[in-house]
A and B are shown apart, each in its own frame.
Chain A
Amino acid sequence: MKIDLINLRESFSIFEKEKSSAYLDSAATAQVPDSVINKMEEYYKYYCSNVHRGVNLQNEKSTNEFETARNVIQSFVDAKYVSEIVFTKNCTESINLVANGWAKHNLKAGDGIVLSILEHHSNIVPWLQLKKEIGINLHWIDLSEDGQLDMNQYEKIIEEENIKLVAITGQSNVLGIQTDLINIIAKAKAKGAPVLVDAAQLIAHKQVNVQKLDCDFLAFSGHKLYGPTGIGVLYVKRERQEEMQPWITGGGSVLEVHRDKFIPSETPSMFEAGTPPIAEAIGLAESIKWINMYEWKDIQEYESSLISYATEEMNKISSLKILGSNNKHGCISFILDGIHPHDVADIAGEMDVSIRAGNHCAMPLHTALGIPASNRMSIALYNKKEDIDLLIKAINKAITIFSK
């Protein structure tokens, strides 16, 4: 289906409000189409029950819907086996599962993990914790002068260090640049190092194909993909699953339990102890169905027209500086001379323009850029040019207030 903005926005009740407003914070959490909300409501109204735990009709229906959701996600990321799709709470938990379920049991003191300076805290802190616990080393890829990841530095690290995992984002949540995943993964593979892709931002802006990428792990959240909060996904390649140990354990993750031992069940349920987020998984599948109505080519074309327009308008403001190089996807971060980002976001907020202020959970990147904080505006498929106009108005208002 071609993108028809009026039609598209009508699928979101939240855009019905008459007051002018601009939601430009989808990189934090995207708005949710009514079809997703209705699908979740249906679960609670008509067949609310646990999954894999009974033989009644309601249970049968909820189990079927839940497992169908897994199939929808499998085909969305093009995983080879449905059992490679693990449901988690969010992208952060997915990465923590890789750290605690895989890395902790396959890496030892002195082994190295490659991270990039673009990572957000979710793909940094679990590795810092592992460093503290088992003494692994972290190697960072910095930005080169052209504002992209320094691939020479990466090649050097891969060649010279004892690298056992590359954990890399597909798209920066601050600078909006996409990383050259194909190249990064190929280089890691040549040295036998598995790769974890943090697709938290990438997933809503570009088609992801795990087989083509040949990554070992891929993590994302539902709520940045027009889905509900409380649901995340970890794709784990079958070979890596065999190397994993259970992390969070309990009911639903075991085959047998005795007084002195337990036998874990098969994957993916081995990693899904306790009652899973059932409505949320079903909701996420519905949000994927929603995005699947559009062609990726059209999504990218439309979103990049918004980013270009915002860049042009921002460049007209002399006291505004855009962070990072061109070729952005999903977001633009910026700073204003003499005005703290928190104040800009507050003044914008008064005008019902939602943007973010702070370090966007990417403190090492902000430190590398030499700034404590920035503002970020981020877009989704439902944004329109008028949203950008409203943001520019808000920025100009902040400049006027602070020039008093």
Chain B
Amino acid sequence: MDIYADNILDHYKRPRGKDESLCVNEQRSCHSEKNPSCGDSLIMELEIDNGIVKIKWNGSGCAISQAAISLLSEEIEGKTEEEILKLNKKDIIKMLGVPISTSRIKCALLCLHTIKNTIKKSKGEVLNKWEDTLEIDHE
């Protein structure tokens, strides 16, 4: 199956929930991450409404990284912080529904890396490293 499936291209061209005015700021609820291998970047700002997470996001990058955050912003509707922190690599790949090669895995997971670290930062917790998000097996 093709990585550039219609829904990926659709979300890339018409990103859902993107707020182009959002910039990196000093708020504890605002956080940004980059994919160092190709320069994709995401900024997120978090709001908790009755225990339910609402995010604002902005970013730039390849079709995979940008479609993934667009899809994720829909996926997390109605979810709590704890539910989002439980999301993993498999969930994101399933959500994208296209084959993700080793060279594109960071593009795909940048959304998960950013949202988890935005939550962790707002709670004052230690942030995930890429090896946590990538679920690198150290055994």
The answer to whether B68 has its CB under 8 Å from any CB of chain A is no
Beta-carbon contacts under 8 Å, B40-63 to A: 40-41, 60-63
Chain B interface residue count, CB cutoff 8 Å, equals: 17
The answer to whether A40 has its CB under 8 Å from any CB of chain B is no
Question: Would A342 and B6 count as touching, CB distance under 8 A?
Answer: no
Known contacts A342-B38, A346-B3, A346-B103; A372/B9 CB under 8 A:
no
Question: Would B9 and A358 count as touching, CB distance under 8 A?
Answer: no
Question: Can you name 28 A-B residue pairings with CB atoms under 8 Å?
Answer: A339-B63, A340-B61, A340-B63, A342-B38, A342-B40, A342-B62, A342-B107, A343-B4, A343-B64, A346-B62, A346-B103, A346-B104, A347-B4, A349-B103, A357-B38, A358-B37, A358-B39, A359-B39, A372-B39, A372-B60, A372-B61, A373-B38, A373-B39, A401-B4, A401-B9, A402-B4, A402-B63, A404-B9
In whole Å, how far is A299's beta carbon from the nearest beta carbon of chain B? 32
* Chain B interfacial positions (CB closer than 8 Å to A): 3-4, 6, 9, 37-41, 60-64, 103-104, 107
- Residues of A close to B64: CB separation below 8 A: 342-343
In whole Å, how far is B2's beta carbon from the nearest beta carbon of chain A? 8
Which of A340, A359, A404 has most B Cβ within 10 Å?
A340
In whole Å, how far is B15's beta carbon from the nearest beta carbon of chain A? 13
In whole Å, how far is B132's beta carbon from the nearest beta carbon of chain A? 23
- Residues of B close to A349: CB separation below 8 A: 103
The answer to whether A341 has its CB under 8 Å from any CB of chain B is yes
- Residues of A close to B4: CB separation below 8 A: 343, 347, 401-402
- Residues of A close to B60: CB separation below 8 A: 372
| B-contact bits for A377-404, CB 8 A (1 contact / 0 none) | 0000000000000000000000001101
CA A5 to CA B68, docked complex, whole Å: 45
Known contacts A342-B62, A346-B3, A346-B104; A402/B39 CB under 8 A:
no
In whole Å, how far is B70's beta carbon from the nearest beta carbon of chain A? 14
Q: Which residue of B lies closest to A340 (CB)?
A: B62
Chain A interface residue count, CB cutoff 8 Å, equals: 16
In whole Å, how far is A116's beta carbon from the nearest beta carbon of chain B? 22
Question: Would B62 and A404 count as touching, CB distance under 8 A?
Answer: no
Question: Would A402 and B62 count as touching, CB distance under 8 A?
Answer: no
Question: Would A343 and B39 count as touching, CB distance under 8 A?
Answer: no
Question: Would A404 and B40 count as touching, CB distance under 8 A?
Answer: no
CA A342 to CA B62, docked complex, whole Å: 6
Beta-carbon contacts under 8 Å, A92-132 to B: none
In whole Å, how far is B42's beta carbon from the nearest beta carbon of chain A? 13
| B-contact bits for A331-362, CB 8 A (1 contact / 0 none) | 00000000111110011010000000111000
CA A125 to CA B60, docked complex, whole Å: 25
- Residues of A close to B61: CB separation below 8 A: 340, 342, 372
- Residues of A close to B39: CB separation below 8 A: 358-359, 372-373
Beta-carbon contacts under 8 Å, A213-238 to B: none
Top-5 shortest CB links A-B: A342-B62, A340-B62, A342-B38, A373-B39, A372-B39
In whole Å, how far is A337's beta carbon from the nearest beta carbon of chain B? 13
